Structure 1
Amino acid sequence: MVQISNQRWGEVPGLGSVDMWVLQSPGLRVEVLTLGAIIRSLSCRGKHGQMEDVVLGYDNLEGYVSDKRYLGAVVGRVANRIAKGRFVVEGKEYQLDTNNGPNALHGGLRGFSQVPQEKEAVNDGNVKRSISAQMQNKNVFSAQGETLTADYRARSTRTTPINLTNHSYFNLAGQVRLEERAAWERWEPFSTWISALFRPHVPPLSHKLAPTSSPPRPYLDP
């Protein structure tokens, strides 16, 4: 049995109020904000049976408003970098605002991670989030037992690139202690190592980690 509750968590000037929705089952507890569909907290049982929060997050809304790391948010329209903020669709080139040096990162200056979302709870343990504009993006979080499922869907009135993901930082040892934060700030070498490990499965990157072409094989190959 999944219990769903919500409460007002704060207000962002110019954007309005932000709610926090809680999905709770016997082995899982998830907190989701209506700002950017952020997963603020994800608690599950550790090896000794205790509940531990395994995603990094902030204690207050101000932390998320000023955050530059997209902690827990749904990012898009396009996750990762678009080199030089340019792409071509149906023979037409589009220039985006850039927010990461010469590149557009995680949706640019006004990505989904900064947008308040409509919300709807349903009875089977799901919480729905949606952004309605020329593109409609629907994010559905569902909890069952010890499993959290995130279902991202998008519909656009015109052809557009779309590549959504959740940007949670996981720490399976539980909440980061103050003495560990310095190590977390130095995540880049590990990130570089991961990029090298999975290089055959990701698009070619420039020295600034921006995709320069399509991946070696389509993601949807069987």
Structure 2
Amino acid sequence: MITSSPFGTYDGKEVIQYTLKNSQGTEIQILNFGGIIKTILVPDKNGKMEDICLGYDDMKGYETNPFYLGTLCGRFANRIANASFIIDGKTYELDKNDGQNSLHGGKGGFHKKVWTPEIDGDVLKLTYVSPDGEDKFPGELKVTLCYQLTDDNELVMQYSATTSAKTVINLTNHAYFNLAGQGAENIFDHDVTIKADQYTPQDSTYIPTGAIESVEGTPFDLRTAKNIGQMIPRVPGNVGYAHNYCFGTTGDKKFMARVEHPASGRYLEVYSTEPGLVFYTSYYLNETGKGGAKYQKYGAFCLEAAHYPDSPNKPNFPSTLLDPSETYQQTTSYKFGVM
């Protein structure tokens, strides 16, 4: 079941909150502003419902939203080195909104757009047409994102896009989770499993070096469940995890990761057709969120299924180039449950 209610306005356009409910009592709220996942209410092992998704109570928070809480990121999620890339010999210069790099599509980005909504049964469909040259990317890009909450407590997100000219595209959702509840202090009591044999090493500005290396014998080996609080101090750089894991293939929906919270019994699993998954443990988080909750460093985790960061400048990475003859497609889902 999907219901809707007014949430505010942005740039003179109406922002609507959509509530998706299933037979299990799970409730997910999504905005047509930035495709934002605002609320995820799921039960614990005792049946107590808790909101496990960080966010804001009103539009004022989402208008700034410096940490991209819950947003759809695009045209290009994550970073592009030196805010530039080349297609057919032509260099495209983007906004430098993360030092010398471009992050999550630049200053405008899909997270700042009001999307056109449509309800089709139990599916919420959002569409947006990004004009040629918007945020300095080539091609008119027509994007559709469908959200569906199944009775198995799985939030399925299906993305598709077409372009009028060769361009690059990389889309993801940037939800921040704390399975103890969105106001809990940290995620040190969570356990994580990421079923990837390889990852992409990166420099101090989070740009991949271009290498693809084995996780074997490193703090990035999360192939069996590890306690997040114990693992964070082992990660080089003293900022925790903000790393891309490699799954190699695009097209087949596969199990990528699972995070468990033993105290509440909740778990979250991620499945995706994408070749990469960024695991981020919120080192930079510092914000006041829903209900006055204080979101702090290590207060949440993100699992962002996408292509690898800086793929347009790394020929050995899976390609993010989209041709007018092609259709970009991605399916990613968050599955919630109780251990």
Q: TM-score, normalised by structure 2?
A: 0.56
Letter in 1 for 2:158: D
TM-score by length of 1: 0.84
How many angstroms does 1:15 deviate by?
A: 4.4
Q: Is the 1:83–1:212 contact (alpha carbons within 8 Å) kept by the matching residues of 2? A: no
Partner of residue 136, structure 1: 142
* CA deviation profile, 1:78-100 (whole Å, cap 9, x unmatched): 11111110111222221101101
Match of 2:124 in 1: 127
Where does residue 282 of structure 2 map in the other structure? none
Could you tell me the percent identity over the aligned residues?
A: 33
Structure 2 gaps, min length 5: 131-139, 214-245, 253-339
Instruction: Kindly report the root-mean-square deviation, in angstroms, between the aligned alpha carbons of the 2 structures.
Output: 2.7
| Residue 152, structure 1, aligned to residue 150, structure 2 | no
Task: Tell me the distance in 2 between the aligned counterparts of 1:73 and 1:200.
Answer: 27
Q: SS in structure 2 opposite 1:63?
A: helix
Number of the residue aligned with 2:250: 220
* 1:186-201 matched pairs, under 5 angstroms: 200-201=198-199
What corresponds to 1:168 in structure 2?
A: 175
Per-residue CA shift, 1:164-204, capped at 9, x if unaligned? Answer: 00000011111214xx2xx58xx9xxxxxx9xx979233x4
Query: Secondary structure at the residue paired with 2:45?
Result: coil
| C-alpha deviation, 1:65, in angstroms | 0.7
**Bigger fraction of residues in helix:** 1
2:103 maps to which residue?
105
Q: Which has the higher strand share?
A: 2
The whole-number CA distance in structure 2 between the counterparts of 1:94 and 1:214 is: 24
Q: For 1:100-143, what per-residue CA distance to the aligned partner results, in whole angstroms no more than 9, with x for missing partners?
A: 111100000111000000000011x1100111131011110001
Partner SS for 1:21: strand
Deviates more, 1:84-93 or 1:140-149: 84-93
Partner amino acid, structure 1, of 2:176: Y
CA distance in structure 2 between the aligned counterparts of 1:102 and 1:78, rounded to whole angstroms? 16
Does residue 36 of structure 2 align to residue 38 of structure 1?
yes
Q: Could you list the runs of 5+ residues in structure 1 that have no partner in the other structure?
A: 188-193
Shift in alpha-carbon separation, 1:149–1:45, aligned structure 2, 3 A? same
Cα offsets for 1:136-169 (capped at 9, x unmatched): 1111000111111111111111121111000000
TM-fit CA distance, 1:221: 8.7
Superposed displacement of residue 213, structure 1: 3.7
SS for the counterpart of 1:77 is coil
- State how far apart, in whole Å, the 1-side matches of 2:146 and 2:21 are: 15
Aligned residues: 206
